[in-house]
């Protein structure tokens, strides 16, 4: 049980596995106005940067769950580095269906709504761990503007235009599910650049060090095509944000 290796190669130096910068992530935590001791569950927690830095800076506690052994090990090391290993724990496991052993104040899935087969299922899953009146965080792509055709949508790593909504429609969808949207933090093109371009350097350095690896052909193909594809499609059409929700 693990992520395919290409994911950890592509994002080997990333602490944040989405297009929020460290500054935006910190601002998001502060914007929630939650007290020290807030208990968090972070599903698909990646390398643990959100939980670790919020534990350090805001006094939160909690648990992260992620499918990647590499990312989970990085999260555990980051907790030790920041001196919060006594306040946060990271579990290698499948976040699909994961429910906390006791209710939490903040339940999050930032950028992996596939664990619930979409936004609605992920919100339902997070609610199973959330105390009444608690906060939920969901990270999700949206269209900055509607792609002109299906090929352009697929170049944004979607299966088609119908995969994502425009931002107003995504907010309306959260409301239709019975939640108030009470805060949001959106990536911009600059933060998208920092996330995407760092992947290209990771790919190139890995390829230089591992030219005979069985993954080398795939990495070479991605490095050859991805920068132009990103500049032409993802950067222009795809947005991404984290939305704070409270059940009505």
Q: What is the pLDDT of residue 2?
A: 84
Which pLDDT score, from 0 to 100, does residue 49 have? Answer: 98
Q: In 10 A of CB 21, how many CB atoms?
A: 16
Those residues with Cβ within 8 angstroms of residue 21's Cβ, 6 or more apart along the chain or in another chain: 191, 194
pLDDT the model gives residue 1:
73
Run means of pLDDT, 10 residues per run, the chain, 248 residues: 91 97 98 98 98 98 97 98 98 96 97 96 98 98 97 96 98 98 98 97 98 98 98 97 97
Rounded-to-integer distance, Cα 180 and Cα 240, Å: 19
Superfamily of segment(s) 5-144+159-186+239-247: Vaccinia Virus protein VP39 (3.40.50.150)
Which pLDDT score, from 0 to 100, does residue 132 have?
A: 96
DSSP annotation of 130 reads E
Query: Sign of the C-alpha dihedral, residues 29, 35, 37, 40?
Result: negative
Q: What local confidence, expressed as pLDDT, does residue 37 receive?
A: 98
pLDDT of residue 223: 97
Domain boundaries, the chain: 5-144+159-186+239-247
Q: What does the pLDDT read at residue 3?
A: 87
Q: Report the distance separating Cα 247 and Cα 179, nearest Å.
A: 4
- Answer yes or no: pTM beyond 0.85: yes
Contacts 24+ apart (CB under 8 A), 32-39: 32/106, 32/135, 32/183, 32/244, 34/58, 34/60, 34/105, 34/106, 34/135, 35/59, 36/60, 37/61, 38/62, 38/105, 38/106, 39/104, 39/105, 39/106
């Amino acid at each position: 049980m693990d992520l395919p290796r290409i994911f950890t190669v592509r994002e080997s130096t990333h602490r944040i596995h989405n297009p929020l910068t460290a500054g935006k992530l910190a601002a998001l935590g502060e914007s929630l106005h939650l007290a020290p001791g807030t208990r968090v569950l972070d599903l698909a927690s990646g390398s643990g940067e959100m939980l670790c830095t919020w534990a350090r800076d805001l006094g939160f506690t909690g648990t992260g769950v992620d499918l990647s052994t590499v990312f989970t090990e990085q999260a555990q090391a980051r907790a030790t580095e920041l001196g919060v290993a006594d306040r946060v724990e990271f579990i290698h496991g499948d976040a699909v269906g994961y429910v906390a052993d006791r209710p939490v104040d903040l339940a999050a899935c930032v950028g992996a709504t596939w664990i619930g087969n979409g936004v609605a299922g992920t919100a339902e899953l997070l609610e199973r761990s959330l105390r009444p009146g608690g906060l939920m965080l969901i990270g999700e792509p949206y269209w900055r503007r509607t792609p002109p055709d299906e090929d352009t949508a697929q170049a944004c790593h979607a299966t088609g235009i119908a995969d994502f909504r425009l931002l107003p429609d995504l907010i309306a969808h959260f409301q239709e599910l019975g939640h108030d949207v009470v805060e949001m933090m959106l990536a911009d093109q600059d933060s998208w650049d920092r996330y995407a371009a760092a992947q290209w350097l990771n790919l190139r350095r890995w390829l230089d060090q591992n030219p005979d690896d069985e993954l080398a052909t795939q990495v070479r193909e991605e490095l050859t095509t991805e920068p132009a594809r990103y500049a032409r499609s993802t950067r222009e059409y795809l947005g991404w944000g984290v939305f704070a929700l409270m059940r009505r």
